[in-house]
Chain A
Amino acid sequence: MKDIERAVDEEIRHHIAEAADRLVAQGMTPEAARREAERRFGDREAHRAAMMNETRRLDRRARLSAIPGRIASDLRLAARGLMRAPTFAFTLIATLGLGMGAAAAVVTVLDALLLRPLPYLDADRIVGVNRVIGPERMTVPSLAPDQIRRWRELARGLGPLAVYDVAGVTRTNGPVPEMLDAVHVSSGLDEVLGMRAWLGRTFEEGDAVPGVNRAMLGFDYWKGLGLGASAIGSTLRLDGADYEVVGVLPRDFKFPVAGSPPAVWLAIHSDFTSAAGPVGGLAVVARLRDGITLEGAQARMDATSEALARESPDERGWKVSLEPIGKWRGNPEVVRGVWFMAAGVLVMLLVALTNCINLLLFRAVDRARELALRLALGGSRLRLVMQLLAEGVVVGLASGLAAVVIAQALVAGIGQLVPDEFVFSSVYAFRIEHRVLLFTFVLAVACGIVLGLVPGVRVVRSSTVGFDLLKDRGATGRDGALNLLLAGAEIALAVALLVGGGLLANSLLRLTRVDPGFDTDHVAILSLGLPESRYDTPEARAAFFDRVRDGIAALPNVRAVSVSDGVPPWTGFRFGGALQAEGAEPIPPTGDIQLLPVIGATPNFIRTLGARLVRGRDLLPADVGGANVLIDDALARRLWQGDPIGMRFRTDDDAPWQTVVGVFAHMASHGLDDRTTPYTIVRPRNPARAGAYMSLAIRTAGDPHAVMGDARRVVKRLDPELAIWRFSAATEALAGTIDKPRFLAAVMVAMSVVALVLAAVGIYGVLACAVTRRRREIGIRIALGAAPAAVRRSVIARGLAVAVAGIIVGLAAGQALTRLVRSLLFGVQPADPATLAIVAIVVAAVAALASFIPARRATRLDPVEVLRAE
């Protein structure tokens, strides 16, 4: 503003001087000429004000329009400055890029799992219609067809309704027989979900006519077929029936929300049959008609179920609950794991950011002379801060780019290791897409601003103190303290993360040590699913499995084979009823009794698995069809105090009594983490009720892998069109049951190790800087005869003091963090002393190592050289 005033005044003065000159030349006295010139100029104040006004307006606009250019030039300058210090820049960008890349990867998972809107039209109007019984509100999402028919009438006015059933089918007109995940869907599903075909069309009324078999393909399965547009109209032979493909669904379209993504969608006929026969338990999904609230719809359904209960006594006690399908997103266990990962990645990002701030602070101190000089020469403080901010933003943006590359690698690479539980729990595939890119960009700019502002504020504040910055010593005092504080914070964060990682690793270790209860090293498990179209009676199915059993039993190196409806760790459950020992009160089906693994097996099951009989005997051929069962020792203790042999119990009020003839040592029936399934019952298989899905336990003499090829050939010889559902060695099957804890532990340990390395670099940096700054003092001490060991000790002591403070704070913070994950821990308390002690010792050791290097350098200082340099 002053500049404008000065310029306007000068212009007016210049005019009057020129005019006066002219008048003098015409003969006036200088005095008179001056007065005349002023008179001719007119109202000087008014003209001056008018000029000022115009110029100010111009100036304001010019300044506004110069801002983008100035920002660009600041950024350019900052980029150039960083390129002059490539190692420094690389360290910054790699550190922050790693932190943000990990964050972007976790956000990708979080977004796919929970945040991105579901791929259905107005997803919040879509409800699952579930049957609920008793106070437990146990959800059984399946209905018999005649119930649905009645509901359709009674629930008229709710909105469009559709039913579906998740199943597996075997395709036999491909290169090899393969099992596909399939969903049988009724007409109306496209109206409920608002789904559109990617190619071809969705199902129509005409597809529901009995005798017509129509299929749609999931996007990924269609891609894998490689047929392109010619897939439409092609034929799939599924479970022995020919289906015409009418459409392909878009990528990322998945229904139901949870579970493995379906490869094929099959139209249910209007009489609730498919090509293979009646469709099994059906689930119902509906779209609420406009104008109906969820509460209103629920009230209507309550009335409906009361009406049903009056009609038929079977319906008594059952209710119908409407549940927005958004609630099906993300299995709670998985979600808790992902939030824990998110918390961990946030901590790691904070460590990375703190490290970068520390690095930039060192640099700001190194550049203090330059900055102070610029201030002294009248450089605007604001410009200086803008320049530092630009540096921060350039680092942030470059790190953001690195982060995208790193996140890409993490999602692609670690993506292979992500347990199926995570993948199946998500509607969307884990893929970096624009929402994540936007997040990374915003995060990068935000981190950049923080990186720029902290040193910026520091520099501006110190310069007000005076010429402190011009002196080399300027930063040893308060700046040094700030650096130490930041390094301590890094340690604390790393410790908190290590506590989490350590507890998960400890849990994992305990899980791997769980005794599976059988000879896993010599057992392979083969599971087959028979198409019910070709094996339509239980007897036919039982007979086929017996043929497979006999065929495999005849192979060399096979000791024994048994057929059962489940083999640890893949067993089914009894669900629902109360468990009752004869003469005792029934135990309600909650807690440890809620899921009770029950295995229906052929004789000699315990011996085949190499499990241990504690009392009594194994299943015998004579037990088939009878009421004799085996239970494990844990269940025996739960039901009786003394010898359980000969005792009777039942698994529901109206179930027959069963007699215990043998007790075996506890088996990991449903995986190594068996907290929800602590007991197992083994009963004789009933050939009259044999299902389509059965497993064979194969006991081998040597490595079970060695017989797998021969076993496959046996199956192929007996039924060339049958797909192998799953076949693996028991050790691998068991390992698969702890995929999730293994994955979480690996992720957390990796993140905490990175955080620890960064924190160690932080301590190293602070001490190295301090040694450099105090080299004169150290030099004098050495010159005065101080022992090198004493000098070394003083430096290391400083580092250790920071580390110890950080460890104490970090252990406390870690407790807060791990409280979130109590349920993810197995056999370990959040305050597990061993884990905490190991973390503390490891961090202290790393901190000591990080301090030792600068300490050694301190003692190597040559006092003469140091003092001469001053």
Chain B
Amino acid sequence: MTRSLSLLPGTLELIVMQTLASGTALHGFEILDAIRRATDDELVIEEGALYPALHRMERRGWTSSDWAVSEKGRRARYYGLTAKGRRALDKASDEWRRYVAAVEKVAAQGGAS
């Protein structure tokens, strides 16, 4: 088993938004769960760090939240992606792909030498 990757700064928001992009509103724990499933536990996220990120995104207008009762009968805060968040996601993922491609090129040269 390979060692899990720690998160690059600024990528948490991209991942959260991508997770919410399906349109279903999720609470914090469900978001973490979805990220774990999607990445096969490759990424390690300090669980508590998710919440300040969610609140920051809400302040920026990327997400909106509502309190509702969960399936388990607990009061939980559900987050959804706003239209503004969707545009931010498009932009962020585009930048991310260009970033990865650029790093990829450099990495490929390093492999060749």
Let me know if B59 is at the binding interface, CB within 8 A.
Answer: yes
**6 smallest A-B Cβ distances: which pairs?**
A50-B52, A54-B55, A42-B48, A18-B29, A47-B48, A41-B48
- With a cutoff of 8 Å between Cβ atoms, the chain B residues found around residue A57 in the complex are 59
- The stretch from A5-13, A176-184, A277-285, A630-638 touching chain B is A5-13
- The stretch from B8-16, B17-25, B71-79, B80-88 touching chain A is B71-79
Give Cα A576–Cα B56 distance, bound, in whole angstroms.
89
* Contact mask for chain A residues 34-48; partner B; CB cutoff 8 A; 1 contact, 0 none: 000000111110110
Say whether B75 contacts A42, CB under 8 Å: no
Check A54/B52 contact, CB under 8 A, given A14-B75, A14-B77, A19-B29.
Answer: yes
Check A54/B59 contact, CB under 8 A, given A14-B75, A15-B28, A18-B29.
Answer: yes
Let me know if B51 is at the binding interface, CB within 8 A.
Answer: yes
Let me know if B46 is at the binding interface, CB within 8 A.
Answer: yes
Give Cα A44–Cα B56 distance, bound, in whole angstroms.
17
Say whether B47 contacts A55, CB under 8 Å: no
Say whether A14 contacts B49, CB under 8 Å: no
Q: Name the residue of chain B whose CB is nearest to the CB of A58.
A: B59
Say whether A15 contacts B75, CB under 8 Å: no
Check A15/B52 contact, CB under 8 A, given A10-B75, A54-B58, A57-B59.
Answer: no
Task: Give chain B nearest CB distance to A1 CB in angstroms.
Answer: 15
Check A12/B77 contact, CB under 8 A, given A18-B29, A19-B29, A57-B59.
Answer: no
Task: Give chain B nearest CB distance to A49 CB in angstroms.
Answer: 9
Interface CB pairs A-B, < 8 A, 18: A7-B67, A10-B77, A11-B51, A14-B74, A15-B47, A18-B29, A21-B72, A41-B46, A41-B47, A41-B48, A42-B49, A46-B48, A47-B51, A47-B52, A50-B51, A50-B52, A51-B51, A61-B59
Q: Name the residue of chain A whose CB is nearest to the CB of B27.
A: A14
- With a cutoff of 8 Å between Cβ atoms, the chain B residues found around residue A61 in the complex are 59
Let me know if A17 is at the binding interface, CB within 8 A.
Answer: yes
Say whether A11 contacts B28, CB under 8 Å: yes
Check A14/B48 contact, CB under 8 A, given A57-B59, A58-B59.
Answer: no
Task: Give chain B nearest CB distance to A87 CB in angstroms.
Answer: 46
Say whether B59 contacts A44, CB under 8 Å: no
- With a cutoff of 8 Å between Cβ atoms, the chain A residues found around residue B29 in the complex are 14-15, 18-19
- Contacting A at CB under 8 A, from B29-51, are 29, 46-49, 51
Say whether A40 contacts B47, CB under 8 Å: yes
- Contacting A at CB under 8 A, from B58-104, are 58-59, 67, 72, 74-77
Give Cα A722–Cα B85 distance, bound, in whole angstroms.
88
**How many residues on the A side are at the interface (Cβ–Cβ under 8 A)?**
24
Q: Given contact pairs A12-B51, A14-B27, A15-B28, enumerate 10 new A-B contacts (beta carbons under 8 Å).
A: A11-B76, A14-B28, A18-B72, A18-B74, A19-B29, A42-B49, A44-B48, A50-B52, A57-B59, A58-B55
* CB-based A-B contact count at 8 angstroms: 65
Say whether B49 contacts A47, CB under 8 Å: yes
Give Cα A12–Cα B50 distance, bound, in whole angstroms.
11
Give Cα A504–Cα B48 distance, bound, in whole angstroms.
84
**How many residues on the B side are at the interface (Cβ–Cβ under 8 A)?**
19
A40, A54, A58: residue with the most chain B Cβ atoms closer than 10 Å: A54
* Contact mask for chain A residues 319-346; partner B; CB cutoff 8 A; 1 contact, 0 none: 0000000000000000000000000000
Q: Name the residue of chain A whose CB is nearest to the CB of B74.
A: A14
Task: Give chain B nearest CB distance to A761 CB in angstroms.
Answer: 54
Say whether B47 contacts A54, CB under 8 Å: no
Q: Which A positions have Cβ atoms within 8 angstroms of B?
A: 7, 10-12, 14-15, 17-19, 21, 40-44, 46-47, 50-51, 54-55, 57-58, 61
Give Cα A218–Cα B69 distance, bound, in whole angstroms.
80
Say whether A54 contacts B74, CB under 8 Å: no
**Interface of chain A, main secondary structure:** helix
- With a cutoff of 8 Å between Cβ atoms, the chain B residues found around residue A54 in the complex are 52, 55-56, 58-59
Give Cα A10–Cα B68 distance, bound, in whole angstroms.
12
- With a cutoff of 8 Å between Cβ atoms, the chain B residues found around residue A43 in the complex are 48
The residue that A11 contacts in the complex, of B56, B59, B72, B77, with Cβ under 8 A, is B77
Give Cα A58–Cα B61 distance, bound, in whole angstroms.
9
Give Cα A40–Cα B29 distance, bound, in whole angstroms.
12
Task: Give chain A nearest CB distance to B16 CB in angstroms.
Answer: 14
B27, B52, B58: residue with the most chain A Cβ atoms closer than 10 Å: B52
Say whether A58 contacts B46, CB under 8 Å: no
Q: Name the residue of chain B whose CB is nearest to the CB of A21.
A: B72
Give Cα A40–Cα B56 distance, bound, in whole angstroms.
21
Say whether A15 contacts B59, CB under 8 Å: no
Give Cα A41–Cα B58 distance, bound, in whole angstroms.
21
- With a cutoff of 8 Å between Cβ atoms, the chain A residues found around residue B28 in the complex are 11, 14-15
- With a cutoff of 8 Å between Cβ atoms, the chain B residues found around residue A12 in the complex are 48, 51
Say whether B51 contacts A42, CB under 8 Å: no
Say whether B52 contacts A7, CB under 8 Å: no
Give Cα A43–Cα B48 distance, bound, in whole angstroms.
7
Check A14/B76 contact, CB under 8 A, given A54-B56, A54-B58, A54-B59.
Answer: yes
Task: Give chain B nearest CB distance to A16 CB in angstroms.
Answer: 9
B48, B51, B58, B76: residue with the most chain A Cβ atoms closer than 10 Å: B48
- With a cutoff of 8 Å between Cβ atoms, the chain B residues found around residue A7 in the complex are 67, 77
Give Cα A40–Cα B44 distance, bound, in whole angstroms.
11
- With a cutoff of 8 Å between Cβ atoms, the chain A residues found around residue B46 in the complex are 40-42
- With a cutoff of 8 Å between Cβ atoms, the chain B residues found around residue A55 in the complex are 55, 58-59
Give Cα A14–Cα B77 distance, bound, in whole angstroms.
9
A11, A19, A21, A50: residue with the most chain B Cβ atoms closer than 10 Å: A11
- With a cutoff of 8 Å between Cβ atoms, the chain B residues found around residue A21 in the complex are 72
Task: Give chain A nearest CB distance to B20 CB in angstroms.
Answer: 16
Task: Give chain B nearest CB distance to A35 CB in angstroms.
Answer: 14
- With a cutoff of 8 Å between Cβ atoms, the chain A residues found around residue B59 in the complex are 54-55, 57-58, 61
Check A58/B58 contact, CB under 8 A, given A11-B28, A14-B27, A14-B77.
Answer: yes
Task: Give chain A nearest CB distance to B53 CB in angstroms.
Answer: 9
Give Cα A51–Cα B57 distance, bound, in whole angstroms.
11
- With a cutoff of 8 Å between Cβ atoms, the chain B residues found around residue A42 in the complex are 46-49
Give Cα A55–Cα B51 distance, bound, in whole angstroms.
11
Q: Name the residue of chain A whose CB is nearest to the CB of B46.
A: A42
Task: Give chain B nearest CB distance to A39 CB in angstroms.
Answer: 10
Give Cα A54–Cα B28 distance, bound, in whole angstroms.
16
Say whether A15 contacts B51, CB under 8 Å: yes
Give Cα A64–Cα B106 distance, bound, in whole angstroms.
49
Q: Name the residue of chain B whose CB is nearest to the CB of A38.
A: B48
Give Cα A642–Cα B68 distance, bound, in whole angstroms.
113
Task: Give chain B nearest CB distance to A343 CB in angstroms.
Answer: 57
Say whether B77 contacts A51, CB under 8 Å: no
Give Cα A741–Cα B51 distance, bound, in whole angstroms.
81
- With a cutoff of 8 Å between Cβ atoms, the chain A residues found around residue B47 in the complex are 15, 19, 40-42
- With a cutoff of 8 Å between Cβ atoms, the chain A residues found around residue B51 in the complex are 11-12, 15, 47, 50-51
- With a cutoff of 8 Å between Cβ atoms, the chain A residues found around residue B58 in the complex are 54-55, 58
Give Cα A138–Cα B56 distance, bound, in whole angstroms.
81
Give Cα A17–Cα B75 distance, bound, in whole angstroms.
11
